[in-house]
Amino acid sequence: MKKSSLLFTLSLGAVLGLFSCGGTADGSSSPVLSQPWPGEMGGNIDPEQSTTFAFDTLLYITTYHGETAVHDEIIDTLQKLDSLFDPYNAPVPGLTSVYSLNNAGGEPLAVDPLLYEALQDALEAEEATGGLFNPLIGKATALYKEAFYGEGHEPYLPDMDEVQSFIEEASGSSLVLGENYTVQIQGGAFIDLGGIAKGFALDKTIEILKSHGVCDFLIQLSGSSIGLGNNPERMDQGGTFRVRINTYVGDNDHILSARFNGLSTSATYEQQVMFGPDRYSHIINPQTGSAVCPNDIGVVIGDIESNAMLDAFSTAVCLTPGENLAALDESLNEKGYDVGLFAMKDGEDVYLSDGFEISGVELP
Q: How far is the CB of 19 from another protein (least distance, A)?
A: 5
Which of these, 95, 172, 183, 91, lies nearest to 137 by C-alpha position?
172
By C-alpha distance, which of 332, 347, 345 is closest to 356? Answer: 332
Asked whether 275 and 160 are in contact (CB, 8 A), the reply is no
Q: In the complex with another protein, which residue's Cβ is closer, 43 or 88?
A: 88
Q: How far is the CB of 71 from another protein (least distance, A)?
A: 11
Shortest distance (Å) from residue 258 CB to another protein: 10
Whole-angstrom distance, CA of residue 118 vs CA of residue 110: 14
User: C-beta of 79: minimal distance to another protein in Å?
Assistant: 13
Classify residue 17 by its DSSP letter: T
Distance CA 311, CA 107 (A): 29
Minimum gap (Å) between residue 57 Cβ and another protein: 5
Q: Pick between residue 225 and residue 320 the one whose CB is nearest to another protein.
A: 225
Binding positions for another protein, rule: CB under 8 A: 5-6, 9-14, 18-19, 21, 31, 50-53, 56-58, 149-151, 218, 220, 222-223, 226, 228, 231, 234, 237-238, 240-246, 255, 257, 263, 265, 267, 270-272, 299, 357, 359, 361-364
Least separation, in Å, of the C-beta of 55 and another protein? 8
Of the two residues 184 and 222, which places its CB atom closer to another protein in the complex?
222
The CA–CA distances, whole Å, from 149 to 57, 83, 202 equal 15, 21, 26
Comparing CB distances to another protein, the nearer of 77 and 184 is 77
The residue (of 72 and 127) whose beta carbon lies closer to another protein is: 72
In the bound state with another protein, the residue whose beta carbon lies nearer, of 129 and 281, is 281
352, 13 Cβ separation under 8 angstroms: no
End-to-end CA distance of the chain: 6
Q: Where are the alpha helices (DSSP H) in the chain?
A: 12-16, 68-85, 98-102, 113-128, 138-149, 160-171, 197-211, 307-319, 325-334
- CA gap 247, 269 in Å, rounded: 10
Rounded CA separation 210/204 (Å): 10
Nearer to another protein among residue 121 and residue 357 (C-beta): 357
CB of 301 to another protein, least distance (A): 11
